[in-house]
Chain A
Amino acid sequence: MAAASPTNPWQAMATRPWRFLASGWPWRSLAYLAAGVLVVVPPLALLRAAAVAGGGGAYVAGAAAVLVFCLVAAVPLAALERRRLKLVDRAALLLPPRHPSAPKGLRRLRARLAEPATWREFGYAVLFVTVLAPGSAVIVLFAFGLLLAPVGPVLVLALDTGDLLGEGGPDGGALGVVLAVCCWLVLLPLTAYLVAGFAAAQAALARLLLAPAAATLATRMREVTRSRARLVDAFEIERSRIERDLHDGAQQRLVALTMTLGLAELKLAGAEGDVPSLVTRARTEAEAVLGELRELIRGIHPRVLTDRGIEAAVLELTDRCPIPVRVGIRLPQRPAHAVEAVTYFAVSEALANVVKHSGASRAEVTGHQAGTGLVVTITDDGKGGAAPETGTGLQGLADRVAAVCGTLSLSSPPGGPTVLRLELPWRTPD
């Protein structure tokens, strides 16, 4: 019980009494209830004034006004209540439960009215105004009264004058004082439990009515997953576009430039002065730029991956790897572009890590179908001890894999071997 600190008043009350009383929970609960009273005081005062002005039948009008108030204020009140909930519920779920992409104007209103969430919020508003807020008011007043009770006698004693309180001042004798103090000391912790209990009940009710229903959450989750997958797809398409633009633009022009310079070299052959050697130098420079550009483009999106798939692209990768890498990838079909790209970049990053950190003398990349997806492993014979926390690269890798609904796991005991395992679906969710 000592390990996990409570996240709501229920849990706090379940701990040892002195722990609970010494904690901030009674005070948080009191603040929660008081804030609730404050929320509802101004509109109720207005309603009361209206009722008084209205004269006969005022209470019927008042009740109607309360209902209207609840209807109008339900949604903003719910928003406010979700924030207030934070005071006593650290695990509070603060997502508004509605569909985010509703239309505007009158249609939006209609859409809102059609949502069960709106009616639950309305129900909460009625409950809040009629029961919860008045109940809170009584308890808060009582608690404050109890807390401030000693102030009067202390003031009297400090000023040493009975005049302020008149003739019937505190003269119940010493026994009376002791009794009063005892009562106070007993009432104080009981009140703390009362306050926390009422706050917890109110919070639970708020949570029940204002938090999104599980089904809504699941729908939302699916939407998030899909939009993330769409983002990854868009990202891949954009990379492909950049690769193509560079290929058709800068790269072609540079090739043409080197060729023109080559032709110039030809025509200058045997000419006097340093012009021929300058042209040769220019051509060599252009070739070097071309080489760098080619590497850059490969890093953005390797063409072989698009044209020939993972195995060919990974083989290309291993061609650049300073240690020998055995590649055994057998896939019965090609995964979606985004999945291929994630796989490729994951293997690329993993091999870079192997070379940089593991001290391995060889590595192996395998890939095969497993269940409803594919499994890719990267194994090395290095010194092991790799951990996701030590390298930002690995975390970035995990994020990319997660974005296509895959998982990444790492086994790297000290002394090795290190095995990085990717499990991916064939397609991204759509």
Chain B
Amino acid sequence: MADTGLTVVLAEDAVLLRAGLAELLGHFGHRVVAAVSDARALIDAVEEHRPDVVVTDVRMPPGYSDEGLRATMTLLNRHPGLNVLVLSQYVATAYALELLDSERHEASGGLGYLLKDRVGAVADFVDAVERIAAGDTVIDPEVVRHLLRRERAAEPLQRLTAREREVLALMAEGRTNAAIASELFVSEAAVAKNIGSIFTKLRLCAPQGNRRVLAVLAYLRGGAA
């Protein structure tokens, strides 16, 4: 909760959820400057308000397909530094990966893909929004679990210890060393050691901060390692 008072553009077609999300963000001192219910309105609202962060549903009118995601792509093309959290009802690794693809371009902002289920754990959810606003990448643990199962990753991942795999998963979700340490009840030093070992075993160079998450995700999905 480093900086409070973020400006947020919210796109969600279900009235109940839209109101709930606005209330929730308001409770933490953030301001929803526009709450819209379809993709076109989302693009217009972003152009108008230039918010700190965009929170959008994948599936919206008129087609109820992936309009939210496509609008996000359009926006990211126009404003590479935009911070966006995409909410989805589906684990849909494909959507998450498309979102990350846009992240490969330079000068990108924070990016997140979370299941809608996560809004119930209110504090964690708002924390994720804040981290994305600060430029971090946040990927749903369920999506990371799927990525870890991909055939591309199967062989090298077997070289990792069980603990190293846990650390890798949390890294891929976008957690910091401190967060990983508290999640696994170990010291930060131990986490740092694990991470070093992971990068060596996977033959990855070890960038810092957000780049690290992207490197791990790129590796898992079989892209540039």
Residues of A within 8 A of B (CB): 244, 247-248, 251-253, 255-256, 258-263, 265-266, 283, 286-287, 290-291, 294, 297-298, 302-304, 306-308, 312, 315-316, 318-321, 324-327, 362
Contact = CB atoms under 8 A, between A and B. Distances in A.
A319 B146 contact: yes
B120 A287 contact: yes
Interface string B152-167: 0010000000000000
A320 B59 contact: no
Given A263-B122, A319-B149, A256 B14 contact: yes
Nearest to A298: B90
Contact of A324 (B123, B125, B151): B151
Nearest to A316: B93
A247 B17 CA distance: 13
Contacts of B122: 259, 262-263, 265-266
The 5 closest A-B pairs by CB, nearest first: A258-B120, A319-B146, A262-B122, A312-B94, A324-B154
Given A255-B119, A258-B117, A315 B94 contact: yes
B16 A256 contact: yes
B59 A306 contact: no
B117 A304 contact: no
A297 B91 CA distance: 12
15 contacts: A244-B64, A248-B14, A252-B16, A256-B14, A259-B122, A262-B24, A263-B23, A263-B24, A266-B123, A283-B121, A294-B117, A303-B92, A307-B94, A312-B94, A320-B146
Given A253-B16, A308-B94, A259 B119 contact: yes
Given A303-B90, A315-B94, A259 B150 contact: no
B65 A318 contact: no
Looking at chain A's contact residues, is the secondary structure mostly helix, strand, loop, or mixed? helix
Interface in B43-85: 59, 64-66
A165 B191 CA distance: 121
Interface of B: 14, 16-17, 20-21, 23-24, 27, 59, 64-66, 89-95, 115-117, 119-123, 125, 146-147, 149-151, 154
Nearest to B19: A256
Given A265-B122, A324-B154, A306 B65 contact: yes
Contacts of B27: 263, 266
Given A266-B122, A303-B90, A318 B149 contact: yes
Contact of A294 (B17, B90, B123, B154): B90
Nearest to A311: B94
B27 to A, nearest CB: 7
A42 to B, nearest CB: 67
Nearest to A264: B122
Contacts of B90: 294, 298, 302-304
B120 A286 contact: yes
A111 B148 CA distance: 66
A273 B36 CA distance: 40
A258 B92 contact: no
A4 B66 CA distance: 60
Which of A253, A255, A294, A319: most chain B Cβ within 10 A?
Answer: A255
Contacts of B125: 262
A43 to B, nearest CB: 66
A255 B117 contact: yes
